[in-house]
Amino acid sequence: MKIGLEVHVALPTDSKLFCSCKAYSEEPNSSICPICMGLPGSKPMLNEKALMLGVSIAKALGCKVPEKISFSRKVYFYPDLPKSYQITQVDAPVGHSGTLEADGVSIGIRRIQLEEDPAKIIREEEYTLLDFNRSGVPLVEIVTEPDIKSEAILRAFLTELKSILYYLGVDINKEFKADLNISVAEQRVEIKNITGTKNIIDAAKYEIERQNKLVSANQKVPSETRSYNEAKMITVPSREKESDEEYGFIYDPDLSEYSTASIKAKKAVFASRIAKEYASKYKANAQTLAELVLFNRDALEMIERWKEKYEMKALIGSIELLEKYGIMDINERAMARLLDMVSKGSYPDKETLMKIYGGEEVEAKQIDIKLIDKEISEYIKRNPRIVEEYRKNPKAINFMVGEITKKYKVHPRIISERLNLIFAGK
Ligand SMILES: [Zn+2]
């Protein structure tokens, strides 16, 4: 099985890719000019920040960055594109031939290109509206090789990619779209325009199963373009769009070549690598640490700041707690007090936490593990089915963990750890 991806994300720039209009604006058609509306005679000028971000992403993904990059026109007619072409990159994109490690598997990055978003089409029953605010918003397209061989690797790849983009300042919650190429047998099926990580994974899951069924029944998988129906969670054949060979691509003479030599790329942060390294160096759970820092710059900074000074497990527990209550600017003394409590197994509620934050002395009591074990045993006696349920789905204990956390103000992870021991019969 082979899966390849084309991911599109919007770049965090104030202005659009080829003009000085604001990249985001609420009121429809309020942030437009002759350039982003594609009026005849208007001349695009490249946004240098978008170029810098494109190069930064390319470098973070280990791509080669050409000394000179250029732009092309992808010619097609559609109402969202009045100038009848989209400006994109073909011959010399910002990056090519890179790799990204996901769960120990190396995924090839074929190319990374800058391009403009077309206008937004709003279809009503009797008419269609066009909003040109989106026209010209800078996008980056990341095209992988078909190196992804399972749903698990697809998930790992998306997490890894999003974390790198997050630390480069990209708002990954704003726009994250992908086209998927999946071939279980020889024929390649393309699923166009899927929005959001969950849908991308669900679409892949469905499509792999659908193709496997056809192959098991000795049927041929037709090579086609499909789309994902989010409500039904299925893929369906869609109108054939032109393939790349059918588009007319021509060099864009309005935009000259641009040198990448003097571009200062943003430094990439590989949070998952850092999490793995620290988990082994400071003896903590790699998964928990990764979950905390992959998409949280403040948390990573706190880990960096205090990793040598405090025990990592208590540090993670304390930061999780601060995050839960939205406190990310705690001072050293208050942090030391909180860590003392958490390392003794205590899990302060919001009121206690605010006291600590405000500099008050709060007594840290050692949690009585025997009492917790007794509480858990009694809960299991009252709800014997929970052991079975937990083995099927570890989340089944969440309610019980919540109850005991509240009652004893003990850290939920301590309860989870005790439960694991109890359920394992130790
Ligand atoms: Zn404009």
- How does pLDDT run across 55-96, given as a tens digit for each residue? 999 999 999 999 999 999 999 888 999 999 999 999 999 999
Residue 367 has pLDDT above 80, yes or no: no
How far does the centroid of ligand 1 lie from the alpha carbon of residue 17, in Å?
9
Shared domain for 13 and 162, answered yes or no, is yes
How far does the centroid of ligand 1 lie from the alpha carbon of residue 30, in Å?
10
What local confidence, expressed as pLDDT, does residue 275 receive? 96
The answer to whether position 224 is within a domain reads no
Closest by CA position to 120, among listed 129, 111, 112: 129
**Domain endpoint, select from 322, 357, 392:** 357
The answer to whether position 168 is within a domain reads yes
What local confidence, expressed as pLDDT, does residue 39 receive? 93
Per-residue pLDDT tens digits for 284-309: 999 999 999 999 999 999 999 999 99
Helix (H, G, I), strand (E, B) or coil at 21: coil
How far does the centroid of ligand 1 lie from the alpha carbon of residue 81, in Å?
14
What local confidence, expressed as pLDDT, does residue 245 receive? 63
Shared domain for 68 and 137, answered yes or no, is yes
Instruction: Please report which confidence band the pLDDT of residue 425 belongs to, taking 50, 70 and 90 as the band edges.
Output: low
How far does the centroid of ligand 1 lie from the alpha carbon of residue 16, in Å?
7
Instruction: Please report which confidence band the pLDDT of residue 247 belongs to, taking 50, 70 and 90 as the band edges.
Output: confident
Instruction: Please report which confidence band the pLDDT of residue 391 belongs to, taking 50, 70 and 90 as the band edges.
Output: confident
How far does the centroid of ligand 1 lie from the alpha carbon of residue 135, in Å?
8
What local confidence, expressed as pLDDT, does residue 347 receive? 81
What local confidence, expressed as pLDDT, does residue 334 receive? 92
How far does the centroid of ligand 1 lie from the alpha carbon of residue 311, in Å?
53
Q: Which of 13-22, 85-94, 296-305, 394-403 is predicted with the least confidence, judged by mean pLDDT?
A: 394-403
How far does the centroid of ligand 1 lie from the alpha carbon of residue 229, in Å?
33
The answer to whether position 311 is within a domain reads yes
Shared domain for 247 and 330, answered yes or no, is no
Residue 377 has pLDDT above 90, yes or no: no
Average pLDDT over residues 333-348: 87
Q: H or E segment at 165?
A: helix 151-167
Range of the domain at 393: 369-423
Shared domain for 244 and 393, answered yes or no, is no
Here the tokens at position 230 are 């989010």
Shared domain for 410 and 334, answered yes or no, is no
Higher-confidence residue: 410 or 110?
Answer: 110
Shared domain for 152 and 297, answered yes or no, is no
Shared domain for 156 and 255, answered yes or no, is yes
The answer to whether position 222 is within a domain reads no
Question: How many separate domains does the chain show?
Answer: 3
Total residue length of the chain: 426
The answer to whether position 114 is within a domain reads yes
What local confidence, expressed as pLDDT, does residue 21 receive? 98
Give the percent of the chain with pLDDT over 90: 69
How far does the centroid of ligand 1 lie from the alpha carbon of residue 332, in Å?
47
The answer to whether position 265 is within a domain reads no
Instruction: Please report which confidence band the pLDDT of residue 386 belongs to, taking 50, 70 and 90 as the band edges.
Output: confident
How far does the centroid of ligand 1 lie from the alpha carbon of residue 18, in Å?
7
How far does the centroid of ligand 1 lie from the alpha carbon of residue 54, in Å?
20
How far does the centroid of ligand 1 lie from the alpha carbon of residue 39, in Å?
10
How far does the centroid of ligand 1 lie from the alpha carbon of residue 31, in Å?
7
What local confidence, expressed as pLDDT, does residue 241 receive? 56
The Cα 142–Cα 111 span in angstroms is 6
How far does the centroid of ligand 1 lie from the alpha carbon of residue 33, in Å?
4
**Residue 337 exposure: Cα atoms within 13 Å on the Cβ side:** 18
Shared domain for 165 and 25, answered yes or no, is yes
Closest by CA position to 413, among listed 345, 366, 349: 345
* Distance in Å from the first CA to the final CA of the chain: 42
**Domain endpoint, select from 204, 231, 259:** 259
Shared domain for 251 and 275, answered yes or no, is no
Helices (H), 39-105: 48-60
How far does the centroid of ligand 1 lie from the alpha carbon of residue 44, in Å?
9
Shared domain for 414 and 328, answered yes or no, is no
Here the tokens at position 64 are 């080669």
Whether the Cβ atoms of residue 413 and residue 407 lie closer than 8 Å to each other: no
Residue 404 has pLDDT above 90, yes or no: no
| Amino acid identity for residue 391 in this structure | R
Instruction: Please report which confidence band the pLDDT of residue 410 belongs to, taking 50, 70 and 90 as the band edges.
Output: confident
Average pLDDT value for the chain: 91
How far does the centroid of ligand 1 lie from the alpha carbon of residue 48, in Å?
15
How far does the centroid of ligand 1 lie from the alpha carbon of residue 136, in Å?
7
Instruction: Please report which confidence band the pLDDT of residue 343 belongs to, taking 50, 70 and 90 as the band edges.
Output: confident
What local confidence, expressed as pLDDT, does residue 45 receive? 96
Question: Could you write out the DSSP letters of every residue in 360-422?
Answer: -----PPP-HHHHHHHHHHHHHH-TTHHHHHHH-GGGGHHHHHHHHHHHTB-HHHHHHHHHHH
How far does the centroid of ligand 1 lie from the alpha carbon of residue 32, in Å?
4
Q: How many angstroms separate the most distant Cα atoms in the chain? A: 79
How far does the centroid of ligand 1 lie from the alpha carbon of residue 132, in Å?
9
**Domain endpoint, select from 331, 357, 383:** 357
Choose from 46-60, 174-188, 356-370 the range with maximum mean pLDDT.
46-60
Shared domain for 117 and 148, answered yes or no, is yes
Backbone dihedral region of 103: left (phi > 0), alpha (psi from -120 to 50 degrees) or beta?
left
The answer to whether position 92 is within a domain reads yes
Helix (H, G, I), strand (E, B) or coil at 234: strand
Average pLDDT over residues 216-239: 92
Shared domain for 384 and 286, answered yes or no, is no
Residue 108 has pLDDT above 70, yes or no: yes
Whether the Cβ atoms of residue 34 and residue 42 lie closer than 8 Å to each other: yes
Average pLDDT over residues 190-196: 95
The Cα 76–Cα 85 span in angstroms is 6
How far does the centroid of ligand 1 lie from the alpha carbon of residue 74, in Å?
19
Here the tokens at position 404 are 């005991």
What angle do the packed helices 412-423 and 369-382 form, to 10 degrees?
60
The Cα 51–Cα 269 span in angstroms is 19
- Tell me how many degrees the CA angle 87-89-90 measures, rounded to the nearest 5: 125
What local confidence, expressed as pLDDT, does residue 20 receive? 97
| Amino acid identity for residue 350 in this structure | K
How far does the centroid of ligand 1 lie from the alpha carbon of residue 36, in Å?
4
The answer to whether position 37 is within a domain reads yes
How far does the centroid of ligand 1 lie from the alpha carbon of residue 116, in Å?
11
